[in-house]
Amino acid sequence: MADTDVREAVRQRYGAAAQRVSGGQNNGCCGAAAGEGGCDPITSNLYDAEQLAGMPEAAGRASLGCGNPTALADLRPGEVVLDLGSGGGLDVLLSARRVGPGGKAYGLDMTDEMLALARENQTRAGVANAEFLKGHIEDIPLPDASVDVIVSNCVVNLSADKDQVLREA
């Protein structure tokens, strides 16, 4: 399969997942609310209630990650964070909260439906210091050395060119 075909298959899969969440359903797998959908118990309920407080319900339902990078990353006030493959935006919104108004959290995703969902979740959460960018994790649309911390949740594995993702990061 050519790299562009891999990308298109991934885009279609996650576009459909975003549409399910926007339509009020579960995303189909994994993430914060997956326990409700009978998904893999290892990748469900990754975020505790305290972390999810104040986050839109759809942001939790959209979560398709297999970990919780915001629980592991040592984020400090004023830092700039980038989430590679930000999906419905939960990790970006949680990161924005951690870096505070003097910092910023960027989400990067290639799927229009996910970007729309993430921006809706941002509006619902009332988070001002976050921005969702359209693009590919193999070619990050930000200036070099403009980010302090990069996080990513179950996305690098989807790239057909993982070396390029890591070089770019």
Ligand X SMILES: C[S@@+](CC[C@H](N)C(=O)[O-])C[C@H]1O[C@@H](n2cnc3c(N)ncnc32)[C@H](O)[C@@H]1O
Q: Which residues pair with 106 in a beta bridge?
A: 82, 131
Binding flags for ligand X, 116-145, as an x/- string (CB under 6 A): --------------------xxx-------
Q: Is 7 or 104 the residue whose CB approaches ligand X more closely?
A: 7
**For residue 151, with 0-12 CB atoms within 10 Å meaning exposed, 13-18 middle and 19 or more buried, which class applies?**
buried
Residues of span 26-45 touching ligand X by CB under 6 A: 31
Assess contact for 65 and 95: CB atoms under 8 A: no
Pick out residues in 53-72 that bind ligand X (CB under 6 A): 63-65
Query: Which residues does 26 contact at the CB level (< 8 Å), separation at least 6?
Result: 20, 33, 34, 36, 37, 61
Per rule CB under 6 A, is residue 153 in the interface with ligand X? yes
Please give the size of the binding site for ligand X, defined by CB under 6 A: 24
Q: For residue 159, state whether it binds ligand X (rule: CB under 6 A).
A: yes
Residue with smaller CB distance to ligand X, 125 or 137 = 137
Using the minimum distance from each CB to ligand X, give the nearer residue, 66 or 99. Answer: 66
Query: Quick one: which of 44, 47, 75, 85 contacts ligand X (CB under 6 A)?
Result: 85
Crossing angle, helix 90-99 and helix 112-125, to 10 degrees? Answer: 40
Should residue 110 be labelled a site residue for ligand X when binding is judged by CB under 6 A?
Answer: yes
CA 81 to chain centre: 12
